[in-house]
Amino acid sequence: MDNQFPSPAGSAELELCWERLARQQPQCGFGQLGICCRNCAMGPCRIDPFGEGPQLGVCGADADTITARNFLRMVAVGASAHSDHGRAVAETLIKVARKEAPGYQIRDEYKLVKLALELGLEPKNLTVEELALKVGQWAQNQFGQQEGELFFLRRAPLKRYDLWKKLGIVPRGIDREVVEALHRTHMGTDQEYHSLMSQASRCALSDGWGGSMIATELQDVLFGIPQPMVSQVNFQVLKKDTVNIIVHGHEPLLSEMIVVAAEEPDLIQKAREKGARGINIAGICCTANEILMRHGIPLMGNFLNQETAITTGAVDLMAVDIQCIMQSLPAIAACYHTKIVTTSDKARIPGAVHVQFTEETALEKARELVRQAIENFGQRKGKPVDLPGEEVDLVAGFSHETIAYLLGGMFRSSYRPLNDNIIGGRIRGVAGVVGCNNCKVEHDSGHLTVVKELVHNDVLVLQTGCSAIASARAGLLDPVKGLDYCGQGLREVCEAVGIPPVLHLGSCVDNSRILVAAAAVVREGGLGDDLSDLPVAGAAPEWMSEKAISIGQYFVASGVFTVFGVTFPVLGGRNLTHYLFHEVENELGGRWAFEPDPKKMAGLMLAHIDKQRKKLGIDKARERILFDMAMRREL
Ligand code: SF4
Ligand code: MSK
């Protein structure tokens, strides 16, 4: 519960999330265990976890049903958030194709054509716009599709796809699975926890291999496939003498335009006239990750930095879009000069200024926001600015395509070197460490303990979201400094290829890149024929969002061992907990685990990776060969 930052520059009385958490104590134990239900007006009902009080709700629902319904609702909300993000990108692509979105362009025609060919479209004789329209409309249809199956499921290994079919959990359409999840949790509908969990898998798969994947793919088409680039992270990326704009949330649609507007000479001139050296943009949360990956815009911080960013006194305007935005921001900003601007009709906050973003007027609105920030710079009027810490260098921008290029080269891009190094034992396994901050845990400490322990034990770590920002701040995304944390085997590979031991793959929707990369590793051969055969594990050490539950469930349903820290939302349903932590592995090949101690969490992941290596017959120590220059060149 530590706030590692200095007290706010403007007011000693200001309450931040840590103080509000303290005021919430003691938090409801029934809620923490997932055994309260308010799904109908005969409730709210709660189950006594000690077995002495009521064991059934008024309708007869037991602890497993109640926890399963609550869990499924979390998956549905998480999947809807990611997928609605994907829908917005599809709509933008369509508007760009119809020339209704001035300011945007299709930056990656190569990815558009590649995607079109995968979809079975014939790009020949079509203009880029005509092709983009077809791809955008295809994506839109994936949301409303009523029958059949989502297209991207076929990117999974055949064995996995067949398993999903056999289990009857193939998602039909994205919206349909979210709606059915909500329907099943209505009072008196699905009251069998296995059945509810099947829908949790189907709904979560419609996120990971559906809505999130659509968001990632189409953002790459519109804004370009990320390429590795150098940037910085920390409070120091804000500058005392520039107009500072923070973009925060998840969608890159408006922030891309803010980046364009901030480079326009007349706006820079205006900023200078106000006494600023220039216009500076920095990001928080996943909007930050999106524009970091494609423009190298620096990271101010992650989820738990959104309030402390304002308390630096250096933020002239914070533009927020959707998800993970605290309602407290306008109240905190009121103690400073910062202007909080909401930009999505889906995410309004009392006390914030609202500037409605539309694709048709995006650049115009972006300029308006930059102008407001410039005006507001004048309101600082010599008030104290406190920028703690140091700027830390990082390299980000690792899409699944660029990882293949880096490993295999532009002309034979391939995951073969990765597979060979896993088989040879230089790389023990691969871990996805993702997810939020949670103020119940010391800021970033869960992420950093897990990641450092993994790389020390030769596990290559793939990251997204706020977890990646935590590692960036600790220097783990620096290809030189990051090596200090590595075991010898991982270090040799990272040195040879020139990558950090922790690869930043992007925002929360970009967890879909991890799925695609894992499928490519299976396809490359030598490590089994399903995702569940791989020596890989997933973790969200400091999760807080319902989106994390959806991500966890689609990882588990894709065959991945997945550990969450902080708390786990079904612990009051004993049978359900046993099912998710143990039995489900027999069906899906993946399973959940809960471990609040990050060191032990890493231990569980390493034990799983070793178990997988043994099953694959690659657990025997091989003779260690140090790479000479010729071998490095070959790699
Ligand atoms: Fe209680 Fe059942 Fe209504 Fe839930 S659905 S509030 S358990 S009566
Ligand atoms: S922003 S979902 S706090 S990772 Fe994607 Fe961070 Fe979690 Fe939001």
pLDDT of 168-226, one tens digit each?
A: 999 999 999 999 999 999 999 999 999 999 999 999 999 999 999 999 999 999 999 99
Q: Whose CA is nearest to atom 7 of ligand 1?
A: 57
Mutate-to-test residue for ligand 1 from 46, 48, 59, 69, highest number of ligand atoms within 8 A of CB? 59
Q: Answer yes or no: are the C-beta atoms of 367 and 262 closer than 8 Å.
A: no
CATH topology of domain 235-380: Rossmann fold (3.40.50)
Over pLDDT 90: what percentage of the chain? 90
Residues 6+ apart with CB under 8 A from 131: 112, 113, 116, 121, 123
- Widest Cα–Cα separation across the chain: 73
- Mean pLDDT, range 51-59, rounded to an integer: 96
Token pair belonging to 457 = 């034990």
CA of 547 to the centre of ligand 1 (A): 25
Cα distances (Å, whole numbers) of residue 362 to 249, 303, 379: 16, 25, 26
435 lines ligand 2 (CB under 6 A): yes
**Which atom number of ligand 1 is nearest to the Cα of residue 37?**
4
CA of 303 to the centre of ligand 2 (A): 6
466 lines ligand 2 (CB under 6 A): yes
11, pLDDT greater than 70: no
Q: How confident is the model at residue 247 (pLDDT cuts 50, 70, 90)?
A: very high
Q: Average pLDDT over the chain, rounded to whole?
A: 94
44 lines ligand 1 (CB under 6 A): yes
**Which atom number of ligand 1 is nearest to the Cα of residue 65?**
7
Question: Who wins on pLDDT, 124 or 629?
Answer: 124
514, pLDDT greater than 50: yes
Give the 3-state secondary structure of residue 414.
coil
Q: Answer yes or no: are the C-beta atoms of 83 and 551 closer than 8 Å.
A: no
Token pair belonging to 221 = 């088409």
Residue 620 has a pLDDT of: 80
CB neighbour class for 25 (10 Å; exposed up to 12, middle 13-18, buried from 19): exposed
Among 60-69, 357-366, 397-406, name the one with the lowest average pLDDT: 397-406
Residue 4 has a pLDDT of: 44
121, pLDDT greater than 90: yes
Strand ranges across the sheet with 536-540: 502-506, 459-464, 429-433, 536-540, 561-564, 592-594
Token pair belonging to 382 = 């010599």
Phi, psi of 323 (to 5 degrees): 70, 135
Q: What is the CATH number of domain 402-616?
A: 3.40.50.2030
548, pLDDT greater than 80: yes
Residue 6 has a pLDDT of: 41
**Which atom number of ligand 1 is nearest to the Cα of residue 66?**
7
CA of 561 to the centre of ligand 2 (A): 21
CA of 210 to the centre of ligand 1 (A): 32
**Which atom number of ligand 2 is nearest to the Cα of residue 250?**
5
Token pair belonging to 240 = 């005392």
Q: How confident is the model at residue 623 (pLDDT cuts 50, 70, 90)?
A: low
Residue 3 has a pLDDT of: 42
Which residue in the block uniquely carries the two structure tokens 């901050």?
437
Residues 6+ apart with CB under 8 A from 411: none
Tell me how far apart the alpha carbons of residues 353 and 369 are, in angstroms, rounded to a whole number: 10
Token pair belonging to 159 = 């064995």
CA of 79 to the centre of ligand 1 (A): 24
Residue 408 has a pLDDT of: 72
CATH of 60-223, one of 1.20.1270.30, 1.10.530.10, 3.50.50.60, 3.40.47.10: 1.20.1270.30
Residue 29 has a pLDDT of: 96
CA of 542 to the centre of ligand 2 (A): 10
Q: Answer yes or no: are the C-beta atoms of 501 and 455 closer than 8 Å.
A: yes
Over pLDDT 70: what percentage of the chain? 95
Residue 92 has a pLDDT of: 96
Ligand nearest to the CA of 85: 2
Q: Whose CA is nearest to atom 8 of ligand 2?
A: 324
423, pLDDT greater than 90: yes
281, pLDDT greater than 70: yes
Mutate-to-test residue for ligand 1 from 58, 186, 190, highest number of ligand atoms within 8 A of CB? 58
Residue 5 has a pLDDT of: 43
**Which amino acid belongs to residue 389?**
G
158 lines ligand 1 (CB under 6 A): no
pLDDT of 21-36, one tens digit each?
A: 999 999 999 999 999 9
10, pLDDT greater than 70: no
59 lines ligand 1 (CB under 6 A): yes
CA of 436 to the centre of ligand 2 (A): 5
Residue 1 has a pLDDT of: 38
Topology alike, domains 60-223 and 402-616: no
Q: Answer yes or no: are the C-beta atoms of 452 and 11 closer than 8 Å.
A: no
Q: Whose CA is nearest to atom 3 of ligand 1?
A: 40
Tell me how far apart the alpha carbons of residues 48 and 40 are, in angstroms, rounded to a whole number: 19
pLDDT of 367-410, one tens digit each?
A: 999 999 999 999 987 788 999 999 999 999 999 898 888 887 66
Residue 633 has a pLDDT of: 66
**CA-derived radius of gyration, the chain:** 24
CA of 206 to the centre of ligand 1 (A): 28
Residue ranges per structural domain of the chain = 60-223, 235-380, 402-616
pLDDT of 282-295, one tens digit each?
A: 999 999 999 999 99
363, pLDDT greater than 50: yes
**Which atom number of ligand 2 is nearest to the Cα of residue 544?**
7
- Mean pLDDT, range 113-137, rounded to an integer: 95
